[in-house]
Amino acid sequence: MSDFAIGLASFPILLLLLAVRVPVGVAMIFVGGCGIVLMNGWTPLISQLKTGPYFQFSSYSLSVIPFFLLMGQFAAKAGMSRALFQAANVWLGHRRGGIAMAAIGGCAGFGAICGSSLATAATMGQVALPEMRRFNYSGALATGALAAGGTLGILIPPSVILVIYAILTEQSIAKMFLAAFVPGFLAALGYILAIAVFVRLNPEAGPAGPKAGWTERWSNVLETWPVAAIFLLVIGGIYVGWFTPTEAAAVGAFATGLLAVLHGGMRLPGLIASLKETARATAMIFLILLGAELFNAFLALTRMPMEAAATIGASGWPPVLILAAILLLYLALGCVMDSLSMILLTVPIFFPIVMGLDFGLTPDETAIWFGILALIVVEVGLITPPVGMNVFIINAMAGEVPMLETFKGVLPFLLSDALRVGLLVTFPGIALWLVRVLS
Amino acid sequence: MTGGATGGPAGGPAGGPAAGPAAGPAVGAAGGWDPAPIGRALYRLSAALAVLGGLVLAALVVMTSLSIAGRALFSAPIPGDFELVEIGCAVAVFAFLPYCQITRGNVLVDFFTARAGPRRRAALDAFGNLLFTVIAGLIAWRAVLGAHDLYRYNETTMVLAVPVWWGFVPAVFCAAVLTLVAAYTVWRSAWEARHGRPLDDGIGPGDGQGSSPS
């Protein structure tokens, strides 16, 4: 059996283990470990395990992850979700479907201090769902908008998955965040347009709310200043070079924690709950990271990713076609797996392939652009059946809305997503111009 | 039976009593020991470790913020601040692992087994947890030897000259707890495969999807 064949054969084995409910991180550690033993014998693996896991967990660049997770937990307790929703609602609520649009706006604002999609959907849901029920919004529109809006949490920086992608592919976190900015803004805009079209077709789905005066509009916007301040401090600070991404995440967690205590009324029980949730999410991510490390070390030994990339690069197929095939594969995988596992599992294979293709961009630009594209399509998995986590969370919060209604409500947003991915593939500049202008 | 959840009134998403038809009193069921009391004890230990690790993380957040303020205002950062972050994060992550496993927080793919019925799913989980037990045991054992090597060669960090093996002490302890917890989850899954319902060990049925950050 050639090394290449061993590398290739590891995938069906890994997928089989995943299919029979072996936790993703455990399956990757197991297959990667067995692969290394098969290639090089016991000794290298056994001696690597002495200090390998500890030194991976103590890596300075990875410490940005628990800090951002803690920041997201504090953000959920900072009591800013209502202010963000209100600030959007006084501007948009008097339109048809306006409260759903405001929920999208609130999600975008919340995404600026929270890097996770589930937390964004759940936190905004608590505020926006009762409001939409009060104005007799259809269950499909209300739950669909919030489930889709949640994905803005991960697209708009800071974003945990972008951080992991940047570390994995050795890209600058600052540049990745910059590149996500315009696509994130476009996503919010696209979702608002999707709602506008939806209520034009179904006028009774989203009745208009009352109109707010100008003073009320501006005073509500002013109330969200802490969110704007934290976002500027964290993202601006990384960009200007005041601090490293890890330091920025720490400062962000500190500021958001302060906000949670002073504005959100967080006390000891709330702090402990935040710490426990951070613990759970951090452990889950780091177990998969440990698995990815071993599995990638094994794949590198087989030289399979490099050879596959070389073969595909020399095949003469149009690069855009190969990219489209990869993105479609992500969509299919997204129906089965969670986004983080998908990124960690596939990037070691797909990244060299994409980097070997010529899109008329510099290598760094290709890496950043592909990261944003992968992030968007992977996130679509959060709102598609059968395992769309955002959909389940919001549907459970809404109570009496049937699941089928929620999935119907998500459809317009999926169309908007597809349109945006198409735009980004055609015009990489959408993601890259801010990076080019500012660096 | 509200379970022995620690951590005050807001005991996390899984801290409440097990809901659903299984929430009856977990009497030592016929044919086998009742794993619930051991589960409760291990849960308390794991939750305590998670909170301790979380406090370390929070302390690192404050320390880093102070260091940046010192650097910006007086050009006097805390020396070796990044070394403290590295040691603290490694220890915290090790401290988080048992809590994630015992609260069923590790992500798995539920897609292909969604219709398999609770008994078969639990049996499969017993297999996955068994693999994890072996891996956790291996990591704990090797880390002991790794710490011994670092101690023998007297390796220290660059700025603060902290002996590197210090961080291994809590890490090894947590890895040992993780091994115990993983072994317990094998037992729990086996029990659930036999009885066809979630074990009421005060932790709750879990969501099988973990607290995915995505």
pLDDT tens per residue, range B1-41? 233 333 333 333 333 333 333 434 444 444 567 888 889 99
ipTM: 0.89
Give pLDDT, residue A230: 92
Q: Which of A272, A337, A342, A392 to mutate to test the interface with B (most CBs of B within 10 A)?
A: A272
pTM: 0.88
Q: What tokens appear for A90 in the block?
A: 């006084």
Q: What is Dmax (Cα atoms) for chain A?
A: 74
Alpha-carbon distances of B38 from A390, B3, B34, B124, B183, rounded to whole Å? 34, 12, 8, 22, 11
Q: Which residues of A touch B7 (CB under 8 A)?
A: 269, 272-273, 276
DSSP single-letter state for residue B125: H
- B111 contacts A386 by C-beta, under 8 angstroms: yes
Q: Which residues of A touch B176 (CB under 8 A)?
A: none
Residue A97 backbone dihedrals phi, psi, to 5 degrees:
75, 10
Which amino acid, one-letter code, is at B38?
Answer: I
| DSSP three-state, residue B171 | helix
Number of Cβ pairs < 8 A linking chain A and chain B: 258
Q: What tokens appear for B53 in the block?
A: 């690790």
* CA–CA distance, B24 with A435 (Å, rounded to integer): 58
B173 closest CA partner among B204, B139, B133, B198: B139
Q: Is A34 on the interface with B (CB under 8 A)?
A: no
Omega before A53 within 30 of 0, i.e. cis: no
Q: Which of A54, A55, A69, A290 to mutate to test the interface with B (most CBs of B within 10 A)?
A: A54
Q: Is B138's CB within 8 Å of A59's CB?
A: no
Q: Is A339's CB within 8 Å of B54's CB?
A: no
Residue B163 backbone dihedrals phi, psi, to 5 degrees:
-60, 130
- A380 contacts A334 by C-beta, under 8 angstroms: yes
* CA–CA distance, B11 with B89 (Å, rounded to integer): 23
Question: For residue A385, what are the domain limits?
Answer: 3-438
Q: What tokens appear for A232 in the block?
A: 């500027």
Q: What tokens appear for B147 in the block?
A: 């710490």
- A409 contacts A143 by C-beta, under 8 angstroms: yes
Give pLDDT, residue B32: 62
Q: Is A258 on the interface with B (CB under 8 A)?
A: no
Q: Is A25 on the interface with B (CB under 8 A)?
A: yes
* Positive or negative torsion for Cα A163, A165, A167, A172: negative
Which amino acid, one-letter code, is at A89?
Answer: N
- A412 contacts A157 by C-beta, under 8 angstroms: no
Q: What is the pLDDT of residues A88-124, one digit of tens each?
A: 999 998 899 999 999 999 999 999 888 888 888 888 9
**Residues in A 383-402 with any Cβ partner in B closer than 8 A:** 386-387, 389
If residue A126 lies in a helix (H) or strand (E), which one and from where to where? Answer: helix A117-134
Give pLDDT, residue B205: 55
**Angle, CA A154 vertex, CA A220 and CA A151 arms, to 5°:** 80
Nearest-CA distance from B29 to chain A in Å?
Answer: 27
* Residue A214: partners with Cβ closer than 8 Å, 6 or more residues away: none
Q: Is A32 on the interface with B (CB under 8 A)?
A: no
- Stretches where chain B sits below pLDDT 50 are 1-30, 207-214
**Of the partner residues B7, B65, B213, the one whose CB lies closest to the CB of residue A281:** B213
Q: Is A387's CB within 8 Å of B111's CB?
A: yes
- Other CB atoms within a 10 A radius of the CB of residue A361 amount to 16
Q: Is B85's CB within 8 Å of A63's CB?
A: yes
Q: What tokens appear for A13 in the block?
A: 């084995």
* CA–CA distance, A217 with A48 (Å, rounded to integer): 59
Is the model's pLDDT at A379 over the cut of 90?
A: no
Our separate counts of H helices and E strands in chain B read: 4, 0
Q: What is the pLDDT of residues A290-309, one digit of tens each?
A: 999 999 899 989 988 888 88
Q: What tokens appear for A220 in the block?
A: 């509500």
Q: Is A247's CB within 8 Å of B87's CB?
A: no
- B39 contacts B188 by C-beta, under 8 angstroms: yes
Which amino acid, one-letter code, is at A380?
Answer: V
- A140 contacts A406 by C-beta, under 8 angstroms: yes
Nearest-CA distance from A150 to chain B in Å?
Answer: 10
Q: Is B213's CB within 8 Å of A59's CB?
A: no
* Residue A228: partners with Cβ closer than 8 Å, 6 or more residues away: A112
Nearest-CA distance from B110 to chain A in Å?
Answer: 6
Nearest-CA distance from A214 to chain B in Å?
Answer: 37
Give residue for tokens 């319902």.
Answer: B197
Q: Is A46 on the interface with B (CB under 8 A)?
A: yes
**Positions of E strands within A61-194:** none
Domain count, chain A: 1
Nearest-CA distance from A92 to chain B in Å?
Answer: 28
* Residue A268: partners with Cβ closer than 8 Å, 6 or more residues away: B8
* CA–CA distance, A224 with A231 (Å, rounded to integer): 11
* Residue A132: partners with Cβ closer than 8 Å, 6 or more residues away: A99, A100, A103, A141, A142, A206
